[in-house]
Amino acid sequence: MEYKNFINGKWVGSKNKEKFENRNPANWDELIGVFPKSGAEDVDDAVAAAEEAFKKWRLVPAPKRGEILFRTGELLRKHKEEISRDMTREMGKIIQETRGDTQEGIDTAYYAAGEGRRLFGETTPAELPNKFAMSIRQPIGVCGIISPWNFPMAIPTWKIFPALLCGNTVVFKPASDTPLTAVRLVEILAEAGLPAGVVNLVHGTGSGVGTPLVEHPRVRLISFTGSSDVGKQIAASGGKTLKRISLELGGKNAQIVMDDADLKLAVEGALWGAFGTTGQRCTATSRLILHEKIKDDFLSMFLERVEGLKLGNGLDSRTDVGPLVNKAQREQIQSYVDIGLGEGAKLVAGGKAYEEGECQKGWFYEPTVFDGVEPDMRIAQEEIFGPVLSVLKAGSLSEAIAILNNSDYGLSSSIYTSDVNTAHVAMRDIEAGITYINGPTIGAEVHLPFGGVKDTGNGHRESGTAVLDVFTEWKSIYVDYSGRLQKAQIDAVTIE
Ligand code: NAD
């Protein structure tokens, strides 16, 4: 029950000997484990180990690095069920979803492994004779990885696997609500054959571990997924040492349902998008924009389904919606429900903590729907990160897209329509990193770029080949085999 940091290939306690508890959000009497509440000295040790390991790891051929990641994928597959069960115990989402979270790690491992035999640069003609030109990708050095709790396996693997494949070494600081999944991942990487120091794990809080990692002068890159507020702080403080900073931040995602949509399908999508992971996904549907012609019909079908959702422990296969991750999260949800009521929105489902039966000892909250929401209300603008859906009305496609785009965020988006022309206008005009046609706002696959526009990030993308641009530096190489000084842009090449 007592877990440690992993530094230079060894499990070690924190220097300050402080600890924190991790409890099951579905039943706070259940202690999951005790973890080190580390500090700056532990970060220093981890960075030193990663820096030393980088000297050798960068020289391991990428296909060999890929083989270790392939073995990591095999081990994740072997342990998928126990990892997923532990994940449900530590952060609450239902077992079907934690299996999906682990599967995303497996997919990412296999994808990264394959990339070991590509990692393409370019060769291109030189402008001068007897000269060869090419570009290659090179690793950056020690990467600080800071992750949230809502995808405890998928998000760390989106970052760590490509970082390693590209030849970097890693100091990993997981969210303090999900330290156990981080331990499982690092155990598996070690078992797969990763040399000591290549991945280091340091548990603790944002201020205790995250801040020293971001400020560390020998950490060359920070890859962060979390809230926009923390992302902005990281961009400012990390910028002082001119680190590369990749930020994946919040969202206020919307699903549009047009009057020509398959309503049954759109109801399924909205239900999964809004209340999957108890609404605690960066890509969760938190706004539903309904065409006025179908609004009443859609809403009555939808609310009937919302009423039928079963709350409970995520390990029970009958459960549809698990608890929120912690007390602060539930308080935040309640405060937004109060804000929505104060703004004059109409509560048509949920609206309070759920404390029936076995749920008394967990952070459960009823799936909540507000109708009559206006585009500028706070509940239509701010990320709530819980099971609260705001319903808005639009009279046309252009109005629906304008409402969708009226947001500081731009992560995911969705439109249900049977008209191919409508779909193409939406693909072109929606301001978001991801658009789904006839699918909910959630459902990303690991071989396409993942990320968003506006306040959702700072222009980087994870997954696919786009993530390689985060974790490598480009080097351009010119080989002059003419045996004389040739001056680019100056020496003229004459054609006879
Ligand atoms: P958070 O910002 O509170 O914390 C994220 C991580 O940062 C945690 O590990 C935390 O300990 C650490 N941290 C906190 N303060 C820090 C600081 N000052 N310096 C360095 N590290 C610090 O977010 P959260 O509550 O864990 O996750 C929810 C948020 O994450 C939501 O806003 C959600 O939209 C976002 N998210 C985004 C994506 C995406 O890909 N765009 C995916 C999942 C979650």
What are the per-10-residue average pLDDT scores of the chain (496 residues)? Answer: 97 98 98 98 99 98 98 98 98 98 98 97 97 98 98 98 98 98 98 98 98 98 97 97 97 98 98 98 98 98 98 97 98 98 98 96 98 98 98 98 98 98 98 98 97 97 97 98 97 88
From 249, 283, 333, 461, mutation site for ligand 1 pocket: most ligand atoms within 8 A of C-beta: 249
CA distance 135 to 121: 5
Question: Are 8 and 49 within 8 A, CB to CB?
Answer: yes
Q: How far is the CA of 285 from the centre of ligand 1 (A)?
A: 18
User: What pLDDT is stored for residue 496 in this prediction?
Assistant: 84
Burial of 253 (0-12, 13-18, 19+ CB in 10 A): buried
Ligand 1, residues at Cβ distance < 6 Å: 146-151, 173, 175-176, 205-207, 210-211, 214, 225-227, 230, 233-234, 248-251, 282, 383, 385, 411, 456
Sheet with 131-139, side-by-side order of all strands: 122-125, 131-139, 472-480
- For residue 282, which atom of ligand 1 is closest to its CA? 34
* Bridge-based pairing state of the strands 453-454 and 409-410: antiparallel
Residue where the block lists tokens 């120091």: 197
User: What pLDDT is stored for residue 146 in this prediction?
Assistant: 98
Residues 6+ apart with CB under 8 A from 223: 143, 144, 145, 146, 159, 163, 246, 462, 470, 471
From 147, 159, 282, 382, mutation site for ligand 1 pocket: most ligand atoms within 8 A of C-beta: 282
Cα angle value 470/475/478 (rounded, 5°)? 160
Show the domains of the chain with their CATH numbers.
Answer: 5-249+457-477 (3.40.605.10), 253-437 (3.40.309.10)
Question: Are 169 and 198 within 8 A, CB to CB?
Answer: yes
Which two three-digit tokens encode residue 456? 């959702």
User: What pLDDT is stored for residue 111 in this prediction?
Assistant: 98
Helix ranges (DSSP H) in 118-262: 154-165, 179-191, 211-215, 228-239
User: What pLDDT is stored for residue 171 in this prediction?
Assistant: 99
Q: How many residues does the chain have?
A: 496
C-alpha count within 13 angstroms, C-beta hemisphere, residue 35: 28
User: What pLDDT is stored for residue 494 in this prediction?
Assistant: 87
Q: Known catalytic residues?
A: 248, 282
Nearest to 433 by CA among 456, 399, 415, 400: 456
User: What pLDDT is stored for residue 401 in this prediction?
Assistant: 98
Q: How far is the CA of 324 from the centre of ligand 1 (A)?
A: 15
User: What pLDDT is stored for residue 184 in this prediction?
Assistant: 98
Nearest to 443 by CA among 485, 412, 406: 412
Q: How far is the CA of 458 from the centre of ligand 1 (A)?
A: 15
User: What pLDDT is stored for residue 266 in this prediction?
Assistant: 98
Q: How far is the CA of 229 from the centre of ligand 1 (A)?
A: 9
Q: How far is the CA of 147 from the centre of ligand 1 (A)?
A: 6
- For residue 450, which atom of ligand 1 is closest to its CA? 40
Q: How far is the CA of 457 from the centre of ligand 1 (A)?
A: 12
- For residue 205, which atom of ligand 1 is closest to its CA? 11
Q: What's the first-to-final CA gap in the chain, in angstroms?
A: 79
- For residue 248, which atom of ligand 1 is closest to its CA? 41
- For residue 229, which atom of ligand 1 is closest to its CA? 2
Q: How far is the CA of 159 from the centre of ligand 1 (A)?
A: 14
243 strand-pairing partners: none
Question: Atom 39 of ligand 1 has which residue's CA nearest to it?
Answer: 248
Question: Are 53 and 196 within 8 A, CB to CB?
Answer: yes
Read off the pTM: 0.97
CA distance 359 to 244: 44
- For residue 173, which atom of ligand 1 is closest to its CA? 9
Which two three-digit tokens encode residue 179? 């330290």
Residues 6+ apart with CB under 8 A from 273: 253, 255, 283, 284, 285, 414, 440, 441, 442
336 strand-pairing partners: none
